[in-house]
Chain A
């Protein structure tokens, strides 16, 4: 058994000229909650869909629970539960009928667990699916996924439409799921504060490419934010240091401690004022900003 639950190996996929994913290499360790983070259109859903047999990579390969997606689809789906905002249960009329329909597919269905989950998420059997709010439909999809004794959960934007209370409930249920042996969750979401607290690993993707990945705590420690004052122009670039914000002669710098030496900020051009604590959200914004503005790690900083 491999130490990874999911391996994306140099995958690439293009959709005409408009968008291409990859080359992307990612491995999701077994026994972890892995967050896939990226702006809208970064390719997160495209990547997750491929795990569930919706689209194949043009190049590269994907292993899920030690099976290649090209040959192991049935086995993979038997052991994996999937949630996405696109799931539509309206055809079954009521919540109860949707549950009764879905449970029949899965020998690992746990009826008692399903009852608990309905109660936890406030989902009622006699509600009409088409009368449910977007958030309540998401809760139904989550109840259906978590009622199974799956090894792997693939959750595409499960927090969409959920209020703060329901999100907390969701993460509590995910941690409960993780108390089982060898369980893994791959989740995409824009709720970065939640992910920072609950996820063990994260990958940040932008325009189909990986910007960074790693253990959540190490990631937030690896990058550091500093406020500095610009003393004079600096035309030279410092790899590993980027300007993420600027107001007058004050700049906020993002420093990648893996790339720079300890004295990287001891420059005649700037005076460092303070180190600012960094959250996952800060890191995300800074990385996306500097990726989309490739012109320079260290743009011209005239002390205007």
Chain B
């Protein structure tokens, strides 16, 4: 008995032994990521915060400490800041809902036993691997109000009042939302992986019990993939709010036409890199935007308690 206890009881290791045995390899393999994080994420984040408390301009050699003045100006006086945040939220929410639904529906279709599954999966994934700049340029041609293919087709079909798409301030943001909605590739693949994890027996039992397809979806599929839905919602929201390249192409880098495609990242870029090059103010805007995204993410975490089902297997 004593001998047994002696062999089972873990031997207490000194720090040096513990380090050599357990942490040496962890540090060795993790070093690159940790150094990378501190150099390329942590340091810029802190540097941006320090910058946000100054009146630094891009070309300015010196700058003065202004406290939270930049933050107050953005929140109380800058109408364009409010407009760009509002448009970013509209863009993120509407395109996000569309992407979420489309990616789930397509993942379910691909999860059924259809022929040429791989081909369809590749086709749906393609928009994701094409750079947004190229996507924007192609859609600008397709949706050209005067010479674009889409309006030509609509014209042949007898539509008289042809849409102005990206050329009108009242439809430019909607056009951008429409284009970005095709970026469902990754989310679809994530959903597909989650759907394939659901045991087939659940559906077989449900069918034996007489459950309809809708009931199977509502009672089995949705609860089983709810953690993945939550994951995708977070991903889609952050992607939408950070969207830059598509808006840059569609709006000629300036929110054209009439600031209607002025998303927040574009406005921040314009503030820092166009006259009068207010780098400190742009840094403050970046921090405010970070806080907004953080707030929204926390809200989503709170809401997730209402629909995310854990440990169902």
A and B are interacting partners: no
